[in-house]
Chain A
Amino acid sequence: MARWIFVRFGFFLSTSEFLISGHSQEKQYATMGVPALFRWLSKKYPKIISPVIEEEAVEIGGIIRPPSYANPNPNGELDNLYLDMNGIVHPCSHPEHKPAPETEDEMMLDVFKYTDRVLNMARPRKILMIAVDGVAPRAKMNQQRSRRFRSAQEAKLANEERERQIAERETRGEQIDLAIKGKKSWDSNAITPGTPFMDTLASALRYWVAYKLASDPGWANLQVIISDATVPGEGEHKIMGFIRSQRSDPEHDPNTSHCIYGLDADLIFLGLATHEPHFRVLREDVFAQDNRSMRLKDQLTITDDMRARIEENDAKKPFLWLHVSILREYLEVELSVPRLPFKFDLERAIDDWVFMCFFVGNDFLPHLPSLDVRDNGIDILINIWKRSLPSLGGYMTKDGHIDLGIVEKLMQQLGTQEDGIFRKRYENERRREDNNKRYKAEREQNAAIRNQFMSSVSKGQDKAPLQPNQNIPLYTPGGQSVGQTHMSNHEVVANRAAVTIANMENKNVAEMLKANLLKKPDSVSAASAVEVKAEDAALPVDVSEASAGDKRTASAISSDSESDLNGDARLWQPGYRRRYYQMKFHTTDEDEIERIRHDMVKCYCEGISWVLLYYYQGCPSWSWYYPYHYAPFAADFEGLAGTKVTFELGKPILPFEQLMSVLPAASGHNLPEIFRPLMSDPNSEIIDFYPEDFAIDMNGKKMSWQGIALLPFIDAQRLLTAVRAQYQFLSEAEKDRNALKHEELFISCHNKNFARFNEELYLKQTTARITFPSSNTGLAGEVYPNELYANTRCMPYKLREGDYEDIPNNAYMRIGYEMPPKAEGKSMLLTGFISHLRAITQEDRDAIMYSGNGGYHRNNRGYQNKVTEDYKKYVGPASESMYGLRVGGYKAFLQLYQQQQQQPVQANYAPSYNNSQGYHSSQGYQSNQGYQHNQNRGGYGGRGRGRGGYHGGSNGHNGGHNGGYNNHNGNRGSYQQSGYQRRDDYRR
């Protein structure tokens, strides 16, 4: 029977996770770790990232004038900005690198400030969409639940540690500020739809938008859509749905530029999935050095000066753009596979790439054991795809629908590699551990030497011990004593649960410690403190690869699969599949394993279909979820051809129902009182959904947050019945918080549509709804009157902090907004799309095409090489036509002729032209001058479009007339020169 670490709320995970906020930003826990993916992308495709240029505030006559929104944007102009608001609310309400705001109202002010800064960077001219996470589909809730349970845990630990540290300092004689002392960390679980906090946020956002529309001249034409927590759907998906809806309007401008702000790496895929190529992602600079979390002890001793300094740094922290447009350029090269039996379609290849990225990590499914984003998982999958695309017979995806038969083929290929992947991973890890150990041993030696010679030098108060170290005896499994640990009091506190349990159960402490070892790779002292005089004979070591003399590695100590503490099925060893299923499902019955395996694969296929549809077409089912904590192996994917996956849409649940589904009992204060007993009363009919104890399966991982929380899956029916029974007892205000509502549109009185909307919807009330296309203002949809706006005279300022006033209703307009009706999204470029100026060079292309996997390691450390080039020129359409100039066209010919005139020394060109009299350049037609004019205008002149100009074009015109066109199977010459070298490479 495999063993888990039983977690009580007192289990302390690691020093480095001590954060005053209780847990770091939710998104950081995503299996697609934000930094990991960003780092991978920026290394592989370096030119996609550029710094955000912010205009400086100008001081005129002693007054500091902030940069004007109406000024041209030094980063290039932008039409639409989408804010994934949770990416702003989280860092403002529980920041990591500075003390948190004192009150919720202060948090709102921080949100205003931060949002204002983001807006001034982006300066959207047409549309601003503010999307806050609403009720999520069930598939997402499982992950939300596991995160919140664990974060509540951590919050409790953080508080305990805080108390302890305060007590410690006070015994040393330090004075701790009463304000800091009394503070309890804020429960970030309040950032869930339906809580009073979200209500405050909703009205604060509306106020702020009205305020800006009324006061900032740069906002005159901006149309602001607010989709807050009362509108169901995750923020980024509401944004996706909006973009899709605008694309279905025939008047939608195909060259609309979009930018999305948010913390999630998913946003990059979202941008690609829209197939709106003028797309950027805006986010804080993840690579900037100063992103360390503020340590607890700093927080306790913070001074006003430090606070001021932090604020200042905060206001200057850099942001960056991720240009999806340039990423598309790279992908065009990366994904071009030669010798395809079907037509190459870049948009569909991109969809396949996005699909593979999702496959390796998403919020809804555990990733396959062999595919880990931190372990090159994406590259592995993509390389298989590139190699096998010709034999796959087609793309895996089509407009968000998956061809499972083709996916199976890919999985089978991956399956053959799985053994190797696990082995290699293990080897790399071993090597890393060995290096670490060696390094630590060296450090300790040096420290010991120092101690010896400098023991008289005082090291300061902090090092003065307050309590004697606790020594805990160690025994081998065989019962022999092998020494003692020297754990510092930190670790004693930390491990007290483990120690207690161990002592109580008389278990092998060495094993417990080994488990700790695995969780704290950077906890030096614990590792070095273990003196294990192992007697190899007594220990059945079954890993032959153990390096000599290193008895301390976890695997060396492991006895057999049964006593494996951290859920590690030892995938590098043969028989791992059987072991895995046996361990995870606690059974050895082959038939049952087969049945489970089969079901897991079926559900997983449903899962990947669901995820893709979620991104490309909108949520396919509000109630579907993946009912397992683990993923199958790639080799298990078989017999899928012809499988059709269908979903029942269902509908979203209400906010309180979601809260009850994701919150642990400790966060119950976010819910109306009436529900709290359901979570904590032992007699509650759904108490089994809220365990105080739950297991965490580390599943072979090292970092604590990578472990899987084994919470029971909620039975929706039971939960809903229990919760709905309480609705009659809710107050009116509470009922209102529980309602599902709709988007709202805010415009200023200068907007082109203002007059008509005002007259027909509010003043004369002649129509109930107005439908409008996007040609006027860049926004399409339907509007209807908003009751609150119609029945009030102003937008009140409700916060208790800050210096703002009520906004009169005639300074802005608030209307109900509905997007154009849902249309089936198609992964195609729209007609009229004009490409941006190409940023990658032939050298970049070669780097991708010819250096295979390791190419991106070569000469760049990613974004660390600061970009100095002005990226503004890469933003927006670069010419006036959607078509590239190609040989054969009239304008192309003129340009060619023009160029040729300027270089009369083209030996093989001149003869054909000499044949026709009167066309020689020198015949006084002032052709060059005359034409220069046009050339600069239409932009079809030398703007250096990466597709290549006509540099070698002359060769194609040998002999003039028949050129290369008569036998177009033969002479590729003319096309090569016209810059389609890349295309020709298909024929390699």
Chain B
Amino acid sequence: MSAKVYPISLRSKDNALKQPKELFAYSMHADGTVTFDNSNLAYYYFPDSELNNPQGVDLIGGYTKYQKAEEEDPGSLRPLLESIANYEKQYGKIKVDIITWRGVMRKIMTVPHTGKDEPLNLDIIKFDGSLIIRQNRDHLLKEIQDEESRDESFKKLVYTGYKFERLATLDKPWARCTRKEIETRNKKPITPREQYCSVVRTGIGKVKMLLGGEIDCVWDCKPDPEDPLEGNPNPADHYLELKTSKIIQHPGQVKNFEKKLLKTWSQSFLIGIRKVVYGYRDDNLVLRSIEEYKVDDIPVLLKNSPFQNPQPTSAAASTKKPVNKCMDSLKFYGGFVNWLLETIPDDETKVWNLSYDFETNREYLTLKEVNGSENVERIRSTIISEEFAEWRKSLVEES
């Protein structure tokens, strides 16, 4: 089959995301193991008064001692699939059209607006009735290598993101922490590989998806879904996304920030996170301000911003009407995802590659089949873990 393309200017009328509902969550540990509990769940804590310190809050402390753990297979779906298998063992097979990381979907969603800065390269297979998608491993490894070769200041920036997360969270609810634990939380080492992930069921249009995404922390606590008195709560209502950004001092910086905000919105919206907290740091990597954002308010905020440029590639450019980029992204996403599902045939032997590169082909996303059986095998093995394949096979055999 020849390559297919999808214009990034296409919009569908469908812009209603099916309300994401968490199916289950798991904790992933630095050694790669997965446990099905809340051990890595963090709790938000950063009092306003701490920002009153005239020296600000240092986000670079501990950098010299920080050792970035090597990730052998970035973008791997293994923990996600393992957790799905675990769930299915208890509750039966989850029937969805797409299984992937939330980050992958987010990248797709914001292609029209931010695709210039983010080239896309995804591998897709059809497996047991679902599309399984992951970022192409080679591409990702190269990206990481490029990052490694960048200068120190970039790495420090990355570090400040982690540091902010550490400073703004506690590992137990506040009531159960001692004063000492709270006051010395900035001394605790940073372990980005310790994560808490939520797996949610969502969808758009006719497409049903299962997305896994890392959760930074909860705002207050995570309610027990089993407890009937809680009234069937959605845990996602309590989740919080933490971000850092450079302080904004003149309009030129606003545009960058708004782009980031759009990405943040997409990321949160996809799995149902309702609140985002941004920490603003200055050039000396000192935290100066914190602001809360309700995810629901971001689209309007962006739309009404006095600094928005209209989308250059869409028809709206001429009218200069403020564009709601978030809704726009959603419409693109809806259209694209449905197209993807319709386009990829039900052939489990094939592997597909979806790519977007602003430099080479800025108008279209390209979907093509991967050729060569070693390639196919190799890529297939990066997507589906053996255990998961075994598990699904056993299900089929049972029935």
A916 & B292 in contact (Cβ 8 Å cutoff): no
Residue of A whose beta carbon sits closest to that of B54: A983
Interface membership of B234, Cβ < 8 A: no
Residue of A whose beta carbon sits closest to that of B230: A775
Shortest C-beta distance, B239 to chain A (Å), equals: 14
Cα of A829 to Cα of B45 in the assembled complex, Å: 10
Cα of A343 to Cα of B52 in the assembled complex, Å: 11
Interface membership of A40, Cβ < 8 A: no
**Chain A residues within an 8 Å CB radius of B47:** 828-829, 831
B306 & A925 in contact (Cβ 8 Å cutoff): yes
Shortest C-beta distance, A351 to chain B (Å), equals: 12
A892 & B175 in contact (Cβ 8 Å cutoff): no
B247 & A965 in contact (Cβ 8 Å cutoff): yes
Interface membership of A927, Cβ < 8 A: yes
Interface membership of B254, Cβ < 8 A: yes
Cα of A972 to Cα of B221 in the assembled complex, Å: 38
A968 & B220 in contact (Cβ 8 Å cutoff): no
Most chain A Cβ neighbours within 10 Å, of B223, B229, B249, B297: B249
Residue of B whose beta carbon sits closest to that of A776: B229
Interface membership of A890, Cβ < 8 A: yes
**Chain B residues within an 8 Å CB radius of A916:** 250-252
**Chain A residues within an 8 Å CB radius of B322:** 925, 930
Shortest C-beta distance, A416 to chain B (Å), equals: 33
Residues 233-262 of chain A, each 1 if its beta carbon lies under 8 Å from chain B, else 0:
000000000000001111100000000000
Cα of A343 to Cα of B43 in the assembled complex, Å: 24
* Given A831-B220, A925-B322, residue A888 in contact with residue B248 (CB < 8 A): yes
A893 & B248 in contact (Cβ 8 Å cutoff): yes
Residue of A whose beta carbon sits closest to that of B291: A889
**Chain B residues within an 8 Å CB radius of A924:** 320
Interface membership of A966, Cβ < 8 A: yes
**Chain A residues within an 8 Å CB radius of B220:** 250-251, 831-832
B179 & A773 in contact (Cβ 8 Å cutoff): no
**Chain B residues within an 8 Å CB radius of A247:** 175
B247 & A968 in contact (Cβ 8 Å cutoff): no
B249 & A773 in contact (Cβ 8 Å cutoff): no
**Chain A residues within an 8 Å CB radius of B46:** 831
B248 & A890 in contact (Cβ 8 Å cutoff): yes
B249 & A249 in contact (Cβ 8 Å cutoff): no
Interface membership of A319, Cβ < 8 A: no
Give the contact stretch, choosing among A1-9, A46-54, A387-395, A878-886: A878-886
**Chain A residues within an 8 Å CB radius of B247:** 887-889, 965
A830 & B174 in contact (Cβ 8 Å cutoff): yes
Cα of A683 to Cα of B178 in the assembled complex, Å: 55
Interface membership of A912, Cβ < 8 A: yes
A346 & B56 in contact (Cβ 8 Å cutoff): no
**Chain A residues within an 8 Å CB radius of B278:** 889-890
Cα of A912 to Cα of B220 in the assembled complex, Å: 42
Pick from A398, A756, A883, A957: contact of B290, CB below 8 A. Answer: A883
Interface membership of A826, Cβ < 8 A: yes
Which residues of B, 138-157, contact A by the 8 Å Cβ criterion?
A: none
Pick from A756, A880, A913, A980: contact of B54, CB below 8 A. Answer: A980
Which residues of B, 254-297, contact A by the 8 Å Cβ criterion?
A: 254, 257-258, 261, 278, 280, 282-284, 286, 288-292, 297
Interface membership of B228, Cβ < 8 A: yes
Which residues of A, 801-828, contact B by the 8 Å Cβ criterion?
A: 823-824, 826, 828
Which residues of B, 45-74, contact A by the 8 Å Cβ criterion?
A: 45-49, 51-56
Cα of A934 to Cα of B320 in the assembled complex, Å: 20
A919 & B291 in contact (Cβ 8 Å cutoff): no
A773 & B230 in contact (Cβ 8 Å cutoff): yes
Pick from A831, A889, A925: contact of B289, CB below 8 A. Answer: A889
Pick from A398, A772, A934: contact of B301, CB below 8 A. Answer: A934
B291 & A249 in contact (Cβ 8 Å cutoff): no
A965 & B175 in contact (Cβ 8 Å cutoff): no
Shortest C-beta distance, B53 to chain A (Å), equals: 7
**Chain B residues within an 8 Å CB radius of A892:** 289, 291
Cα of A753 to Cα of B228 in the assembled complex, Å: 10
Cα of A364 to Cα of B240 in the assembled complex, Å: 47
**Chain A residues within an 8 Å CB radius of B282:** 888, 965-966, 968
Residue of A whose beta carbon sits closest to that of B309: A918
Shortest C-beta distance, A987 to chain B (Å), equals: 8
**Chain B residues within an 8 Å CB radius of A585:** none
Pick from B49, B55, B289: contact of A887, CB below 8 A. Answer: B289
Pick from B43, B54, B230: contact of A975, CB below 8 A. Answer: B54
B54 & A986 in contact (Cβ 8 Å cutoff): yes
Pick from B284, B288, B307, B308: contact of A886, CB below 8 A. Answer: B288
Interface membership of B44, Cβ < 8 A: yes
Interface membership of A938, Cβ < 8 A: yes
B230 & A889 in contact (Cβ 8 Å cutoff): no
B48 & A919 in contact (Cβ 8 Å cutoff): no
B229 & A756 in contact (Cβ 8 Å cutoff): yes
Interface membership of B182, Cβ < 8 A: yes
A250 & B292 in contact (Cβ 8 Å cutoff): no
> Which of B's residues lie within 8 Å of A, judged by CB?
43-49, 51-56, 173-176, 178-179, 182, 219-221, 223, 227-231, 233, 245, 247-252, 254, 257-258, 261, 278, 280, 282-284, 286, 288-292, 297, 300-301, 303-308, 320, 322
> Which of A's residues lie within 8 Å of B, judged by CB?
247-251, 343, 345-346, 398-399, 753, 756, 770, 772-773, 775-776, 823-824, 826, 828-832, 880-894, 897-898, 901, 912-913, 916, 919, 921, 924-925, 927, 930-931, 933-934, 937-938, 957, 960-961, 963, 965-966, 968, 972, 975, 980, 983-984, 986-987
CB-CB nearest 5 A-B residue pairs: A888-B247, A927-B306, A250-B221, A930-B304, A886-B289
Give 15 CB contacts A-B under 8 Å: A248-B176, A250-B43, A250-B174, A776-B229, A889-B247, A897-B251, A916-B250, A919-B307, A925-B306, A930-B303, A934-B300, A957-B250, A965-B288, A968-B282, A968-B286
